[in-house]
Amino acid sequence: MPASFPTNRSHAVVIGCSFAGLLAARILSDHFERVTIFERDPVHDYPEARRGQAQTRHLHGLLAQGFRLLNRLFPHLESTLVQGGAVVSDMGESIRWYHHNGYKLQFPSGLSGVSMSRVFLEWEIRKAVLDLPNVTLRASCTVSRLVTTPDRSRVVGVELASEEHQGPTPIIQADFVVNTGGRGSATGKWLEGLGYSRPREEEITVGVGYATRIYRRRPDDLIGANLVMTSPTPPYQKHMAFLFPMEQDRWIVSAGGWLGDHPPTDDTGYREFLRNLPVADVFNVIQRAEPLSDVYTYKFHSSLRRRYERLNRFPEGYFVLGDAVASFNPIYGQGMTSAAMQADALDSLLRRGSSLEGLWRSFFRKVAKVVDIPWQIAGCEDFRYPETQGRKPPMTDLLNGYLARVHRATHHDSVVYLQFLRVMNLMASPVSLLHPRIMRRVLL
Ligand SMILES: Cc1cc2nc3c(=O)[nH]c(=O)nc-3n(C[C@H](O)[C@H](O)[C@H](O)COP(=O)(O)OP(=O)(O)OC[C@H]3O[C@@H](n4cnc5c(N)ncnc54)[C@H](O)[C@@H]3O)c2cc1C
C-alpha cells in the first residue's frame, strides 16, 4: 500500500463477496485507503456454498492462467491450499482426458493446476483478503441502489437496503464502486433508473445441466492420473463427466449434459449415466467409492455477455467485473480465470496512477479483450451442436472443422496438445493454433 493516496482514492466499495469481489477488493486495497465489501448473504469463517452463489457446490476447475494470477496476488496461497489438502498437478501429465473419440496424450506440460473444492479455495482467498488492514466485509448487507451527484454523472456511493441496515444512515460514500454482483447483478436496472442505457446482451443457449456428487477418495482409486475428464464428441454425444480430487481425501464428480439432455439424480440412474459414457473411467472410480453427499443439480440455460464497452455514456466512478460482465458455459472452466484477468486489467490501469476520470472507458475496453477469447473458445465448441441458439460468428463451422483435427492430433502429438492446452488454459491466443508450425502437424 502506498504511504499516501491521491485525494480521490480514499474509499472504494465492492458489491458482492464471491470470487470476483474478493479479487477486486484485493486489487483495490493497493490503490485506495479503505475498501469495504458488501455482501447480501451472511458469511461465515468456514468453507460454505452460500445462497447467492449456489454454483459453488459444483466442480470448479481453475485454469493455469487463473492459478498464475492468484499466486501473484496471494504469494502464500498455493502452500496454504496444499497444506489444506488441495492437489497440485501438471495439466498435461495428470489428466486422463477422453475427448473426440480418443485419449489425449499424458506428458509433462509445465502448466500447473490445482484441484480442491470451490468453497475451500474461496475461503482461503477470503481469509487472505480480510487479513489486509484496509479491507472490511459487511455481510448480510444488500446494496439497493447507486448514489450519484445531482446531475447523475458520477457515482459517489451506495445505499443499503433499509430493512437490513442498523447504522445511522444507509448511505455509504465512496470514490469508486465495483459491482461484482454476479450474473443477476442489478446494474442494468440501476443504469436505466439513472437515465443511462443498459448494455446490449449477447446470449448463447446451451441448456447445460450439472449433477454433482462427492465421494471418499482412496490412494489406489486412480492409477497414472489425478483427474479424469470424459467429454462428448458433438453433435452425436451430449454427455460428460469430470472427476477431480478435493481436500479431505474426497472426489468431486460433476456429470453434465447439453441442450436439456441432463443426468438423472437418483442413485441408480446417476451410476448408469456414468457407466454409459463413451468410456467408463469415472464410473470405474466411483463404483467402489463411498458417496459422501446427495446429488446436487444446477441448470445453466445460456452463456451471457454484456457489452459495456459499447456504451457511449456511463457514470464516472462505477465499474462492473466478473460474471456480471460475462458468464460462460461452465463446462470449459473459464469463469474464475476470466474474473482474475479482469481484476488484473483493473490493476494495470490503476497502477498507471492516472486520473479516475474516464477510466470506465479504458477499463471496459480491456475487459472486452479479456472476455473475447474465452467467449470465442466456448461459443465455437457449443456451436458444434446445431440446436445451439445465439449469434454464430462467421467461419465458426470452418474453424470447427480444423479444430476437430486439432482434437484428434492431441491424441498423439505432444506439440499440438501443448499448444491446445495453453489456449484452453487462457495462456495463449486461439490464433496460435493456426501458426504454420502447428497447422503443418495438424493437417499432415
Ligand atoms: C455450475 C457451474 C460450474 C462452474 N464451474 C466453473 C469452473 O469449473 N471453473 C471456473 O473458473 N468457473 C466456473 N463457474 C463460474 C464461476 O462460478 C464464476 O465465474 C465465479 O463464481 C465468479 O463469479 P462472481 O464472483 O462474478 O459472481 P457470483 O459468484 O455469482 O457472486 C456474486 C455475489 O454477489 C452477491 N450480491 C449480488 N447482488 C448483491 C447486492 N446488491 N448487494 C450485495 N451483494 C450482492 C451475491 O450474494 C454473491 O455472493 C461455474 C459456474 C457454474 C454455474
Domain limits at 248?
88-115+204-300
- Whether residue 150 sits in one domain with residue 101: no
| Residue bearing cell 492468484 | 70
pLDDT beyond 50 at 1:
no
Question: Would the CB of 330 count as within 6 Å of ligand 1?
Answer: yes
- Whether residue 273 sits in one domain with residue 233: yes
Instruction: List the CATH number of the domain containing 280.
Output: 3.30.9.90
**CB 62 within 8 Å of CB 78:** no
- Whether residue 257 sits in one domain with residue 134: no
* pLDDT at residue 421, as a whole number: 98
* pLDDT at residue 165, as a whole number: 60
Helix (H) or strand (E) holding 245: strand 239-246
* pLDDT at residue 164, as a whole number: 64
Least confidently predicted of 175-184, 205-214, 353-362: 353-362
Average pLDDT of span 268-297: 98
Question: Would the CB of 179 count as within 6 Å of ligand 1?
Answer: no
Residue 219: pLDDT band (50, 70, 90) is: very high
pLDDT beyond 80 at 354:
no
- Whether residue 198 sits in one domain with residue 309: yes
Cell of 440: 503443418
pLDDT digit string (tens) for 77-118?
Answer: 999 999 999 999 999 999 999 999 999 999 999 999 999 999
* pLDDT at residue 22, as a whole number: 98
- Whether residue 288 sits in one domain with residue 215: yes
Average pLDDT of span 139-146: 96
Phi-psi region of 358 (alpha: psi -120 to 50; beta: other; left: phi over 0): left
- Whether residue 133 sits in one domain with residue 280: no
| Residue bearing cell 454425444 | 237
- Whether residue 270 sits in one domain with residue 362: no
Average pLDDT of span 357-362: 94
From atom 1 of ligand 1, which residue's Cα is the shortest distance away?
A: 55
Question: Would the CB of 334 count as within 6 Å of ligand 1?
Answer: yes
From atom 12 of ligand 1, which residue's Cα is the shortest distance away?
A: 335
pLDDT digit string (tens) for 251-262?
Answer: 999 999 999 999
pLDDT beyond 50 at 129:
yes
In DSSP terms, 180 is beta-bridged to: none
Least confidently predicted of 3-17, 248-262, 376-390, 415-429: 3-17
pLDDT beyond 50 at 206:
yes
pTM of the model: 0.97
How many residues in the chain? 444
**CB 362 within 8 Å of CB 346:** no
pLDDT beyond 70 at 25:
yes
Q: Residue 374, preceding bond cis, omega within 30 degrees?
A: no
DSSP secondary structure letters along 65-134: HHHHHHHHH-TTHHHHHHHTT-EEEETTTSEEEE-SSSBPP----S-EEEE--HHHHHHHHHHHHHTSTT
Average pLDDT, the chain: 96
- Whether residue 270 sits in one domain with residue 140: no
pLDDT beyond 70 at 422:
yes
Number of separate domains in the chain: 3
DSSP secondary structure letters along 28-70: HTTTSSEEEEE-SS---SS----GGGGGGGS-----HHHHHHH
* pLDDT at residue 162, as a whole number: 74
Average pLDDT of span 163-188: 88
- Whether residue 286 sits in one domain with residue 140: no
DSSP secondary structure letters along 335-368: HHHHHHHHHHHHHHHHHTT--STTHHHHHHHHHH
Query: Strand 143-148's sheet: what is its strand order?
Result: 143-148, 155-160, 171-173
Question: Would the CB of 339 count as within 6 Å of ligand 1?
Answer: yes
From atom 15 of ligand 1, which residue's Cα is the shortest distance away?
A: 335
Q: Tell me the CB-side half-sphere exposure of residue 144, using CA atoms within 13 A.
A: 11
CA 35–ligand 1 middle distance (angstroms): 20
Q: Which of 337, 356, 381 is the last residue of a domain?
A: 381
Residue 32 within a domain: yes
Question: Would the CB of 325 count as within 6 Å of ligand 1?
Answer: no
Residue 355: pLDDT band (50, 70, 90) is: confident
* Helices 19-28 & 64-73 angle (0-180, nearest 10): 40
Which of 275, 277, 258 is closest to 205 using CA atoms? 258
Q: What percent of the chain has pLDDT over 90?
A: 94
* pLDDT at residue 353, as a whole number: 77
